[in-house]
Each structure stands twice: as C-alpha cells, then as structure tokens.
Amino acid sequence: MLRRLLVAVPVVLLATLTVFLLVSARGDPLRDFRHRPSVSQETIRNLEHEYHLDKSKPEQYVLWLADFVRGDWGTSFRTERSVSAMVGEAAWNSFLLVGTAVVLSAVLALLIGVVSAVRQHSAFDYAATGFAYFGFSMPDFFFALLLQLVLVIWLREQFGIQLFYVQGKYSIGEEGNLLNLLQHMVLPVATLMLTSVAAWSRYQRDSMLDALRTDYVRTARAKGVPRRQVIRRHALRNALIPFVTVVAVDAGVLLGGVVVVERIFNWPGLGLLFFQALEYSDYPVLLAWMAVATVFVVLFNLLADVLYGVLDPRIRLSGRPA
C-alpha cells in the first residue's frame, strides 16, 4: 500500500500539471469580464490577484496546486458559489449514478462471463456473444435516445404510462422522493451499463476459460473435487484478477467523465457541470473538475492494486523480503 501510494503522488502531480496547462491553453479566463462595461478595472485586478493570473505560468500552477490541496478552489464565475461546494454536490450525484451502474454491471457481467465460460459453445454463450457485439457497437448517446423513445415517449403515447423520466434527478415538487429518484435513474444507469456489461462479461469469460484450462484445475478435477467447488474456489478466484482490473479502471473513468450521458438526461453531476463550465468559460470550475476527475482515476487504480492482494495473497507477499 505504501509503495503504491508513493507511486501515485508523482502520477497525480503530473496529471494535474497536464490539466492545468490544457485549461490555461484556452486563453485568458477573464476575457469575458474584460469586455463587460459593468466590470471595473479594479474588479479585474482583484480577480487576477485572486487566481494568480498576474504571475508566470509556473508560479500559477504552484499557487493553484497549493490552494487546491488546502481546499480553496475559488468561486465560480458563473454562479458566484464556492467551487468546492459545486463540485462536491455534482460528484455525489455522479457517484450515485455511476456507483449504481458499476455495481449492477459488475454483478451481471460476472454472472454472464462465468456461465458463458462454463457452458462454452452453448446457446447461452452464443447469445451472450451477440449481446456483447451489440453493446460494443451501440454508441451511448444513440442508446440513450433509443431508451427515451421506446420506454418514455412510446409507452406514454400508446398506453398512457409514465414509468421513467428523462430529465433531472427529481420531478418538480418530488424532491426527496425515493421512488421518483429511481424513476429518473433507470434510463441513465441502463445506458451506462450497456457497454460496461458487454466489455466486462467478455473479459470475465476469457479469464475464466484460461483458469479452467490450468494444471491446478485439472488436478483438482482428477482428485474428484466437486465441479462447483472447482469452479468457485479454484477457477473463479484466479479469474477475478483481470476482471477487477478492468472494473476498477473503468469505474474511475466513468465517475470522472459521464459527460455525454449526464448531458442527455440533464443529470446534475460532474458531466453536466463540465458542459456548463466549458460553455461559460468558468475557469475555476474547469480546473477543479479536471483535477478531481484525474484523482478519481488514480484512486480507483490504487483500489485495484489493493484488491489484487485480497484475491491473490502471492501478490500481497511478493514485496516482502525472503
């Protein structure tokens, strides 16, 4: 753990530096303010001093990083709210959406992958392969629009049924209603799950097939160990390591960038916040958003390393002296 944490620090620093340079490359973040007659020159100078824009680029990065680590992320140009509060609310909403999708996708992909491997060349295996090709080839935005058309518009027009909603986190006046929240979550979660289940189930199938062909599994079968025990205790445990890698990495990427799905469903998460910040050139929000997204990816990679040691003690013990 200590070794992984030490490696993660320079990775985060390099990633935040890249993020800072990319955002800074968009030009003067105060250009919109400079063209407003209602904004005085004194206000412009105060903003330049607050965000260290009167310093050189290296100094700007060091000062911004110091402020970021302390939790001082500045104030949004667009809403004049605390950036940390805005990103915190959006991150929780994205975590609610993506966390649900990741858990459901992992369970479903694991079941599909294991059954497909154990029953290779069966009707279920061929059906799962067809589903995987469908999931790989279907763009997220198109699948989201298709779900809206069939499960919302068509059901409402043909049967007068309103099972799901396509905009926001709650309906107006239904804030805090759990059932209403679930009705708003179903379609975006299903959209996020499509590609994940398709990809992860194929990884798990291939990993499980490799595990079933190993010598120790053949030996266990030759000793008369029950088939279920061979699959569960010998093959599945070792086949989970590549699966955990993919899930952990993809979960970090999803949590940091569900931009398209949240935009389509107007879900108030990190993706929608990114679009709004980009549209209004909200410099403090953009920097904080990209830094948080970067940290998410690094943390989930670290989580994958920890889970390796849980699944395979040989990895946990490999760093110890003989």
Q: Which candidate, 236, 129, 275, 131, places its Cα nearest to that of 193?
A: 131
Q: Is residue 313's pLDDT more than 50?
A: yes
In this prediction, residue 291 has a pLDDT band, given cuts at 50, 70 and 90, of confident
Tens of pLDDT, residues 238-272: 788 788 878 877 887 777 557 888 888 999 988 88
193 near 140, Cβ under 8 Å? no
Complete DSSP assignment for 57-120: HHHHHHHHHHHHHHT---B-TTT-SBHHHHHHHHHHHHHHHHHHHHHHHHHHHHHHHHHHHHTT
Q: Which structural domain, as residue segments, surrounds residue 179?
A: 2-317
What CA–CA distance (Å, rounded) separates 105 from 196?
6
**Inside any domain, residue 113:** yes
In this prediction, residue 315 has a pLDDT band, given cuts at 50, 70 and 90, of low
pLDDT given for residue 311 in this prediction: 65
The structure tokens listed for 106 are 């992992």
Domains: count for the chain: 1
Highest mean pLDDT among 53-57, 158-162, 197-201, 234-238: 197-201
What CA–CA distance (Å, rounded) separates 102 from 111?
14
Instruction: Give Dmax over CA atoms of the chain in angstroms.
Output: 85
Q: Percent of the chain, pLDDT > 90? A: 20
Which domain CATH number covers 54? Answer: 1.10.3720.10
Q: Which three-class secondary structure state does DSSP give residue 165?
A: coil
**Inside any domain, residue 66:** yes
Q: What is the mean pLDDT of the chain?
A: 84
pLDDT given for residue 213 in this prediction: 84
What CA–CA distance (Å, rounded) separates 42 from 191?
48
Query: What's CA 236's distance to the chain center, in Å?
Result: 25
4 near 302, Cβ under 8 Å? yes
**Inside any domain, residue 322:** no
Given 3-state DSSP classes, what are the helix, strand and coil percentages for the chain, each rounded to the nearest 5?
Answer: 75, 0, 25
Q: Is residue 278's pLDDT more than 50?
A: yes
- 85 vs 246, more confident: 85
**Inside any domain, residue 192:** yes
In this prediction, residue 197 has a pLDDT band, given cuts at 50, 70 and 90, of very high
pLDDT given for residue 321 in this prediction: 47
pLDDT given for residue 322 in this prediction: 43
**Inside any domain, residue 162:** yes
